[in-house]
Structures are given as structure tokens and as C-alpha cells.
A and B are shown apart, each in its own frame.
Chain A
Amino acid sequence: MLSFALIFVASLFFTGIVVRVKSLASGRKGPGVFQPIRDIWRLLRKGAVYSRTTSLVFQLAPSVYFASILAAIAVVPLGSYAGIVSFSCDFVFFAYVLALGKFFCIIAALDTGSSFEGMGASREALFSMLAEPAFFILMGTLGLLTGRTSFLQIFSGLHIDSNLSYILVTIACFLLIMICMIENSRMPVDDPKTHLELTMIHEVMILDNSGFDLGLILHATNLKFAMYGALIANLFIGNMPLWGSVAAFFGIQIATAVVAGVIESFMARFRMGHNSQFILVLSSLALLMLLGVMLIIN
């Protein structure tokens, strides 16, 4: 319950920090940290326009997407404090329930019958498919390292003590940040600030959403950011006492947001054709980590 509440709080300012870092890096003053959440609040109170082409699927999809992310957050623990539920292999549930949300997002985009949204849907389907093995190999590796099988047990059993484990945690951090950037359709895979539909992925899928639905989708992105931030934080929290883990949680969330902002400021978006190669590299990095862990164990 605690982690759920903390992630929700973090989701309120996470994207704001990313935006603020980007504006500072480009020499602008930029909007306040809570501007994104104000925008969402405004959207939630607005009416909507639906395309005549769309069907029930389009109406249902944003709710399913949002609920899927809430359900995924429910299994994320805070160090040694469990999430709302915790059971063996809960990270499989985590990945698959997120995939369910994505499935609905994709078919909702196809429901509009627009050429742009079909394009976005196609890209989203491909890139998230490629990122899937990396996440599973990462979790398998952490499981092998700790000998446990659930998020809570893995994170509370994780000890960073040897030189090799510093390297492993660095790789794990990098992997999680990159998976986070891919899942949230940010740089270097996708550019949320682009104005050309042909270069968008996620943004182009939600062109026809408006009002409450759009608000849900945007806040889902914030939640997703904070959720991955929480996973990264968990790599470090371990068995800290309560006040320490809460402090570390927010510290690492802010650090992750700053890193995301810095990546977005100083990196260009990849060519669309190179994205799949880049995402596949993540799987091989995860394999590298696996080999490291096997070195430690033997």
C-alpha cells in the first residue's frame, strides 16, 4: 500500500521535473514542476470528440490502459515493504498486465481507421515486443542472483557488496532506464515533442483521444514513469528502515527524472529503422548481466 501511494505521489511531479530539466538545459526558464499535472486536471474536466469510425473498443481502451498500469503498480514493493500484493513470479503479472494495456492502446489506434494511428500502432507493437525479452532476462538474472522469485523477495534480498555487483547494478539501472524510456515512448526511441506525425510513435496513436480519455492516457504515462523509477529505486533500497527507504525513494525518483531529462536534452532521436537494433542490444546487455551473475555464483 505504501509503495502504491508513494508512486502515485511521485507521478505527480516526475514528468514536470523531466520537462524542467529539459528547459533549463536549453536555457529557458520553463513551466513549473506541476504544470503537466495541471494540464491533465484541465483535460479531465473537458468534453470529448469521438470519431464516427470508432467503436466500443475506442471508448474502453483508455480505461483499460489506465487500470492496467495501476494493477502493475500494485505488485511493485518498496524495499522490504510489500506492494498491495506479492506472490511468486509477480513480475510476470507485471509485464503481462502492462501488455494488456498496450494491446488495447494498439487496437484503439486501429479503431480510428487513420493512416497515422495505424503507423503508430505498428511501431508500438514492434518496439514493445522487442523490449519484452530484455525485461524477462533481467528479472531472471536478479532471481538467479538472489535465489528468489518475487519482486519483494528479490529486492529485499539484493545486496550490493562486491565489485562485480556494482557493475551488475549499473547495467540493471541502465536497462531499466532504457526500458522505461521505450515503454514511455521517450528519447532516444521516440520524441514526444516532435510536430511531425511521421516521426511519432505513442503521440500519433492517441491523436483522436480527447477530454477525459486523453487525461487518463497522459496520467498513465506519468504513473508508468514513476513506476519504473520505483523499480530503479528498489535496486538500491534493500533492507533500509522506513524513513530511509522513503527518502531514498524520492531521491532516486528525482535523480531518474533528471537523468531522463538530460538524456532527452542531449540525445537525438534514432532513425526509426535503427530503433529495433537498439532495443535488441538491450537483450544482449541483459545476457551480459546474466553471465556476470553466473560468475558470481560459481
Chain B
Amino acid sequence: MSFIGIYLLTLLAAVLLVGCLNPNGKSLVAVCGTVALSVVSSVPAVGALMGQTFACDFAGSFFTGPVRVIIDPLSAWFVLVINFTMITSVLYGRQYMQAYADRRSALSLHWMCYLLVHAGLTSVCAMHNSIGFLVAWEVMAFSSFVLVIFEGDKVRTIRAGINYLIQSHIGVALLTVAFVWVAMVSGTYDFSGIGQFVATQSKAACFGLMMLFFVGFAFKAGFVPFHTWLPHAHPAAPSHVSGMMSGVLIKIGIYGIVRMLILINVNYLAVGYFILAISVITGVYGVMLAIVQHNLKKLLAYHSVENIGIIGIGIGVGCLGLGYENQMLAIVGFAGGLLHVLNHSLFKSLLFYGAGNVYQATHTMEIEHFGGLIKRMPQTALLFLLASLAICGLPPFNGFVSEFIIYNGLFSGINASFSTASVLMFVAAMAGLALIGGLAIMCFTKAFGIVFLGTPRHEFHNEPAEFGKARLLPMYMVGILIVAIGLFPQYFVGAIRSVLGQMVGADVLQTVLPLCCGAMTWISWYMLGFVVLVALVYGLRSLCARRLPVAEGDTWGCGYLAPTPKIQYTASSFVRSYRRLAKPLLNIRKRAVDVEGIFPTDAAYSTEALDHTETGLIHRPLRVFRLMLSKLSFLQNGRLQNYILYGLLFIVVVLGVPFICHIIRVFINYLNTLL
């Protein structure tokens, strides 16, 4: 049996079996199915990374022609990233969904769609035929929509889900247009048609095609201003789904962009500048909005936007490297971007799992309500701290490695100084990346500090408590990989060498990559040294403190002896000075009822951070559109007679128009005979 046959049969068996079992069995099948699918797809993927590209033809239909399925190094890298996060996510989700064990039918649908998303994501990476690609893309988009609306009885959830569905399909529409354009020119739906398109068409047309693809994929990836579905969908979905979506589903957009960069191999300079500019904006804008969020999962969602920006900076640098024919730049840029794809999928899924634990322990996501959770849920807190450090790009964790490589690219770009414009662009990107780093630190000191540290700010109905080992296991799996990449980056950079070879040419790789890996070895030693140093200082401290008196007391309160949790800094007050500083760029709706008079009644204060792009590009045009359509609302008057009249009119028009056209044509012919 062929490889694809095995894959599809596994999928089919798992999906059918999910429906027949009790809730525990359903999730068990989902776990087994996910692992099986991962193993089947990982085998050729690992082979491809080793240099053995896997290719086969799927029979297809008369419409598509034979569908090429190729797992080359680029596909393989994304397939492996997807598989790992899908496995941790299903392991975590199995525990998470136990709280919903009474909703049997919803659970069936959930786990079926989970398996379909996994298959869809993997197939998107392997399809080299536009029809097959779009089918796999749709399978993924629809089933992830079903995953998002698991709690569909809540209005907010269903609204977020539909928002996601619509925006994701605007992206699909653009991709379809692009693919059809290619097919019209080349006459084939195979990806090789894109090569023919590039060979025959003008550069401007190729740029237009690239932009169509970029915007289509940007809707999925979440580049600003196409990101507005993301902050709604992530908080609405169950936590393992948020982790999976943020970790791998949005990366499929990045995959699409990189794939098209390989296929449309002209205009690298223009495309590179474009991607770099939009990525810097995406990164800074994402983190700027993340800081002012009050909902923990929404905050994390905006950080996904930020990290897509960082990945985009890497890819933009790589593109410029190709454009300026500077191999070092190209390799470093793509290496940073692709490694960050893996890194972000790790720490972001871990953060969402942590947020999921917090949510199920407290049943709220409002940051202002938390406090002191580290004493109740120590392991969750430490894992969340680990992921926070990693997402801020701090050493010795994995986020630092990819950001360091990207910085390397930016600095070599500045040093190469191709032109004034290039220097300014690289400096802007570097300052942007530094600013992103600073803002991320502010955001995660807030998120971790307010949620887990201090004293509890709120009485919860049930006292929050740590979860069992089964739920922490997938989190530790991710955590270990985060530390491993941070401490031994050279092996992971080595793993993507064949991907880089595909991007820049294998012969170039031989000369340039050793330089890059050499620096990684230094980094590795340095990180290890740093860990040892921390251990030494802490050990010395413990040694000295052993002989000394240690007392416990209250937090110093400036002489005030009755501190309450209310006097702590809150999340809003922590970011207040930032909010005032960034006010012109943010869209914050503030409602305040001040304390007035001698006998003040209730006072209130609330802020809500809105998104400029969302209000400007979606809400306002929609309002105008609705206003225009409301002028036609007299047509919908509820009278049956009128509706029958409309039907009649329609039939008359349908029959009448060709008839009138015919008469006109006859008349024109008659006039022609007269002349």
C-alpha cells in the first residue's frame, strides 16, 4: 500500500472510531490517532531533512490531474514542527476536555475535527498542486473553525468563530484568484505552473502574483492589518486549541509565503523590503497592543501577532540577502525566521497550556482578578515563567537563539551597506526588534507578575490548586525542548541546513554555514557558562545564608501595618505610564465614574483596548455598508404578495432581458443593412 494510502486510512479509522466511544475513549483515540499520523508523516519528513526528498503522485481526478505530493526539506521542517505541537496539544487537551465529559456529541465532533486539522496541516505542507492545496487548506480552515466554537452556546464564542471563518475565507479567495491566474497562464494546476508563469510573464505581473499570495497567506499568519480575527478566536477556543492554533496553524501562512518565495524567484529586493517593513510594523504593533490587554489569552494572542512579525523580519532579511546576492545574509535571515517558527510554536503553546490551567482552576481570564497563584500552582507557575522568559527572547532559552540569529542578519545587512535605503531599513528593523524585546519584557513581567505573584486579589469559589501529572507532562515535554534549544542551539541550526540549502543553494551552504554554526557553538558554551554562574552565585548565597539568622515578616509597608491585597499594583497601574505614552497610537476606551460629593455613591473605572485596524478597516466600512443597504430595507417588508411580485419580476427580467437584447440586435442588423 502506498504511503498516502496508509496515511488516509489511519485518518479515516481514527475519525470513525472517535464517534463510537465514550468520552474517555474518544480522547484516547484522538491521542493514538495523532501519534500515528505524526509517525507516518514524520518518517518521510526526517528523511527529507537528511537529504532524501520524498515524492509521489496521488491519482487525483480528471479535474485536478495527478496531484504531486512532495515532502522536500522545507515541507519536512514544518511537518515536524506541526507534529510535535499537535502531540503535546492532544495530550494536554485530553486532560483539559475532561471538564466537558458530559457533552458527548460536541466532544465527538471536537476530536474528529482535531484529527482533520492535523491531517489538513500536514497535507498543505506536502501538496504541490493548487487544487489539492486548496482542498487541504479548506479541510484545515473548516475543522479549525469547529474547534474554535466548541463552547458555541456562548454568543462571544460563536461570533469569534464566524469572524475567523469569514476572514480565513477572504484569504482563501485571494489564494484561489492567484492560483487560477497561474493556471490561466500556464494551463496546469501543478506548482510547476508557477515556474512557467515566472518565466513567461513580466516582473510586475510576478510581483502582483506574489502580493496576492502574500496577502492571502497573511490572513492566516496574522500580519497586521490582517490579524484582527486572531485576538478574538484565541480567547474563545479551548486552551489546547488556542495553543495549537497559535503554535502551528498560523505558521502555515508562513509556510505558504516561504514556499511562494521559492517558486516565484524574481523581485527578491522589492518583496524583501515589503516583507521587512510590514513585519516590523506587525511586531511592534502586536506587542504594543498586547501590553494593554486585560484578558490573559487575548494578551497571548497579540503576542502571536508580534512573533509572526519577528519571523517575518527573518524572512525579509533572507529575501534581501537573495536579492543582493549576499549569501551570508540570506542564510542567516532564513535560519532565524525558520528557527523562530519552531521556537514560537513551543513557548506559545506552553503559555496557552499554562493559561488553560489557570482558567480551569479559577474560571476567569481577567488578569486583574489573579494574584499569588505561584503558591497554589507552583509547577504551572514555573513553566509559565520559563515560557515567558523564552518568548521575551532572553538567554539561555530558545527564543534568544532565533532572535540572536536574526540580529546577526540585521547587523551583517548594516555592515554590507548596499545602499542608503538598505542601511536605514536594516537600522529601523533592528531598532524595531530591540523595541519589541523591551516591550515584550514589560508585557510578560506584567502577565507573570500580576497573575502568579503577590497576594490573591480575588476570592475564588473553589480554591485554585495544582493539576495532576498527566496534565503537566505535555507541558514539561515542551519545557525541556525549550531549554534544550537554548543550551544546544548548534544541533538545531544544523537540523535546518537542508532547508537552507533549498533556499539559497546547497553549494553556498558549505562555505557559509560553518561560520554560523561556529557562532552557535560559542553561544552554547556561553549559555552553559551562564547557567553554571547562576548556580554558583545561588549556591554561595545559600552557603552564606546557612549560618546567618533568617526571619520572616510582612512586606515593608512604609509604616502601614494593615496591608490588604487591594493596595498592590494592578495590571492596569503597572502599564499606566506606558499607556499614557503610547496613547496617540492606541485606541483605548475609558469609562470612569469619579468619586464626587460628601457622600459619594458608587465609583467605577474601566478601560478597554480596541484595535485601530479593526475599527478602521472592518467596523467602520461595515457600518457604512450597512447604512447603504438599509436604504433598500423597504424591499423586505414581510408581505407575501410583494415577495411573489419580486419572483414574478425576476422571471420577467430573466426572460425579458435576452428577448430585448435579441430585438436590439435585430434592429442593429437592420440598420446595418440600410447603410
Tell me the A residues contacting B by CB distance below 8 Å: 44-57, 60, 62-64, 66-68, 70-71, 74, 85, 87-89, 92-93, 95-97, 99-100, 102-103, 106-107, 110-119, 121-123, 125-126, 128-133, 135-137, 140-141, 143-144, 147-149, 197, 207-208, 211-213, 216, 272-273, 276, 283, 287, 290, 294, 297-298
Contact = CB atoms under 8 A, between A and B. Distances in A.
Contact of B577 (A118, A136, A276, A294): A276
Contacts of B427: 137, 140-141, 287, 290
Contacts of B574: 110, 118, 121-122, 125
Given A53-B455, A96-B393, A137 B519 contact: no
A35 B573 CA distance: 38
B277 interface: no
Given A87-B519, A114-B555, A114-B557, A129 B442 contact: yes
Interface of B: 371-372, 374-375, 378, 385, 389, 392-395, 400, 403-404, 407-408, 410-412, 414-415, 417, 420, 423, 426-427, 430-431, 433-435, 437-439, 441-442, 444-446, 448-450, 453-455, 519, 522-523, 525-526, 529-530, 533-534, 536-538, 541, 544-545, 548-558, 563, 565, 567-569, 573-578, 580-581
A125 B442 contact: yes
A128 B435 CA distance: 10
Contacts of A114: 555-557, 563, 567-568
A57 B374 contact: yes
Which one of B374, B525, B533 has the greatest number of beta carbons of chain A within 10 Å?
A: B533
Contacts of B537: 63-64, 66-67, 70, 216
B553 A51 contact: yes
A137 B426 CA distance: 10
24 contacts: A50-B553, A51-B553, A53-B554, A55-B375, A67-B536, A74-B526, A85-B526, A93-B395, A99-B394, A103-B392, A103-B394, A112-B555, A113-B555, A118-B569, A122-B573, A125-B446, A128-B441, A137-B431, A140-B411, A144-B414, A144-B415, A149-B415, A211-B545, A272-B577
A129 B439 contact: yes
Contacts of A100: 389, 394-395
B568 A212 contact: no
A133 B435 contact: yes
B553 A49 contact: yes
**Interface of chain A: mostly helix, strand, loop or mixed:** helix
B532 to A, nearest CB: 9
B430 A96 contact: no
Contact of A133 (B431, B555, B558, B576): B431
A136 B427 CA distance: 9
Contacts of B389: 100, 103
Contacts of B545: 47-48, 211-212
A87 B411 contact: no
A110 B451 CA distance: 10
Given A113-B568, A114-B556, 6 more contacts: A45-B548, A47-B548, A113-B453, A121-B569, A128-B438, A276-B581
Contact of A110 (B445, B549, B563): B445
B528 to A, nearest CB: 11
A74 to B, nearest CB: 8
**Most central of A66, A71, A125, A130 by chain B CB within 10 Å:** A125
Contact of A111 (B449, B525, B567, B573): B449
Contacts of A70: 533, 537
Contact of A107 (B407, B449, B576): B449
Contacts of A46: 548
Contacts of A66: 537
A143 B414 CA distance: 8
A110 B395 contact: no
